[in-house]
Chain A
């Protein structure tokens, strides 16, 4: 057995020699954005004592100075003996829901609503009658060690039955931990119902369904229906025996998180045309009103969550979350103070907007300064990073444009654009507009927080079942890649200016 001391937390782990670091460090907050393939620098750690051999990935991702200073990529390393490792400290702020619900129903007992995000998990305990929140708990999605994006997860699950079983077990165990955390001792028997929401991949990986058909054209889920259990079937003991329902999917990758988002925002009852954008690791969007809704998912990739960007990271200590100009100098705000370790989504959007204003970034995405733009040493953006941002922007922009076209609407017809999820809450809307990520006016934008979690809470009530059914019936799903003109829309939306005219053919 080898002892690994983690700094600064002081936690000491004992693991057999030969254990992969990614198997033991993920639960201590270390992230593996590329799925541990050695393609990024997301899992940087520092060896302060002990010996960790230099891997090929270290050589290709780190410079000599960094390697000499003890920096390594955790994903490719395995334990050879006792170690003291420095980990970036983790203080992630996961979005839960603080909205109040005013009407009281006769639903009895307690309920727990859980949002299974690709990156993060959020659970809330409520009284079903009032939906008053009695407790909240959050965690990282433990499947994150198999990659930040959905496709890496599916790829891992498809490699073997053992893998997919492990992934189901991991998420079920983590959810059970969250439930235990929010449920006060002695009130277990009052727990009546647990509702879960997430995208289709999260649904299938939780319920142990095959993701084979979801991974390939035409990207159809194995099941659109809710996955229903009694808690004991899942091995969730000592919490009474509530019903557990992973709510139904909408189609393709669009899952119950969007169904819940529609329920929470009331889009299905809206007289006016509105849109809901949930721009997480996988971008999902809905457009329409009470006469009908259309939804789609856009594979924006995780750039706005910091993955795929050379020095990108989650919004945790050391991340640059704001970039602005002060006395003509570029300034940054570092979460938790200190020197910058990387940049998170909001900082990235700020930086690109500022770069455009300063003429450092051209409208076609070229970096004027050459290959790098140093924001605050050692933090820099590279030409490649800007290209990643363009791909993400292109996917989101094309998705929304095509959905609007399908609904025969213009952007200006939308009374409201609801921004759900962390993106809507932390990204600076004016900067997102500056870089063309949101092509609507400030008056149209309404951040709605974690609408998926709020919808999941509403779904704890008996009467919501018929409402969810009618939302499903009135909402159609389109697969964007099959829509004629997708390629041109995608390419046009990659520019940081309106360039539709270039692609009108």
Chain B
């Protein structure tokens, strides 16, 4: 098994220390940062994402895999920036105003990162104003909003309206336990993700 395959395997298993060690090893062996990202990490996150969708992996496995990827990315990010590798796009993620639940949002963020997007995490309880201010500063391609509660999901509608009124051009993708495709459509969201792992596909096909 070569080093890139080992990175992928340890990322899927959520072994952060090993991923750090192997990423450094791959670099010293002469692998380019972009290659480590594309051929080891993105592949690994796709494996765990597919397992999640198939019910073969669950939230804890996703979180530890994400942590392992973050460990590797920390090493790669400055190198990627130096070599002028461009992200596929920029995505904001945030949990809707009134809601504190961030596991779904964090998982979505890591899947986007794992697929090569630049992710800006605005945190939880995010208001329209916060999305809009940041969008004026950075101009994202997508804005992802998550909600876990039926009682807070309804706040998404106002945020989408406010974003449009403020002239923010980014496509809005929403998700979370109570959110359905019909609901997303009814409040004018551009995209919908049934789970954290589905977000990448939705964004890629937009």
Interface of A with B (CB < 8 Å)? 151-152, 154-155, 158, 215-217, 364-366, 371, 383-384, 387, 390, 394, 479, 481-482, 487-488, 490-492, 494-495, 499, 502-503, 505
Select which of B14, B58, B67, B97 is within 8 A of A494 by beta carbon: B58
Whole-angstrom distance between the Cβ of A399 and the nearest chain B Cβ? 14
Instruction: Check if B47 is an interface residue, CB within 8 A of chain A.
Output: no
Select which of B59, B63, B67, B98 is within 8 A of A217 by beta carbon: B98
Task: Give the complex CA separation of A488 and B103 in angstroms.
Answer: 9
Select which of B61, B64, B102, B152 is within 8 A of A215 by beta carbon: B152
Do A364 and B60 touch (CB < 8 A)? yes
Using Cβ atoms and an 8 Å threshold, which residues of chain B touch A505?
67
Select which of A158, A371, A488, A490 is within 8 A of B151 by beta carbon: A158
Interface residue count on the B side (C-beta < 8 Å): 26
Using Cβ atoms and an 8 Å threshold, which residues of chain B touch A492?
60
Select which of B57, B59, B106, B152 is within 8 A of A216 by beta carbon: B152
Instruction: Check if B100 is an interface residue, CB within 8 A of chain A.
Output: yes
Shortest Cβ distance from B152 into A: residue? A216
Task: Give the complex CA separation of A488 and B106 in angstroms.
Answer: 12
Do A487 and B63 touch (CB < 8 A)? yes
Using Cβ atoms and an 8 Å threshold, which residues of chain A touch B151?
151, 154-155, 158, 215-216
Using Cβ atoms and an 8 Å threshold, which residues of chain B touch A502?
14, 60, 64
Select which of B57, B103, B150 is within 8 A of A487 by beta carbon: B103
Using Cβ atoms and an 8 Å threshold, which residues of chain A touch B46?
none
B151-194 contact mask (Cβ, 8 Å, vs A): 1 or 0: 11001000000000000000000000000000000000000000
Task: Give the complex CA separation of A204 and B122 in angstroms.
Answer: 33
Q: Please judge, given known A-B contacts A155-B150, A502-B14, whether A491 and B56 are in contact too, CB under 8 Å.
A: no
Instruction: Check if B118 is an interface residue, CB within 8 A of chain A.
Output: no
Shortest Cβ distance from A157 into B: residue? B151
Do A364 and B58 touch (CB < 8 A)? yes
Q: Please judge, given known A-B contacts A216-B152, A217-B125, A487-B103, whether A495 and B55 are in contact too, CB under 8 Å.
A: no
Whole-angstrom distance between the Cβ of B187 and the nearest chain A Cβ? 15
Chain A facing B: main interface SS: helix
Using Cβ atoms and an 8 Å threshold, which residues of chain B touch A387?
55, 58
Do A482 and B100 touch (CB < 8 A)? yes
Select which of A215, A482, A494, A499 is within 8 A of B59 by beta carbon: A494
Using Cβ atoms and an 8 Å threshold, which residues of chain A touch B97?
216
A366-B56, A383-B55 given. 8 additional CB < 8 A pairs? Answer: A216-B151, A217-B99, A217-B125, A366-B55, A487-B106, A492-B60, A503-B60, A503-B63
Task: Give the complex CA separation of A490 and B103 in angstroms.
Answer: 10
Shortest Cβ distance from A212 into B: residue? B151
Whole-angstrom distance between the Cβ of A60 and the nearest chain B Cβ? 12
Do B100 and A481 touch (CB < 8 A)? yes
Do B59 and A491 touch (CB < 8 A)? yes
Whole-angstrom distance between the Cβ of A442 and the nearest chain B Cβ? 27
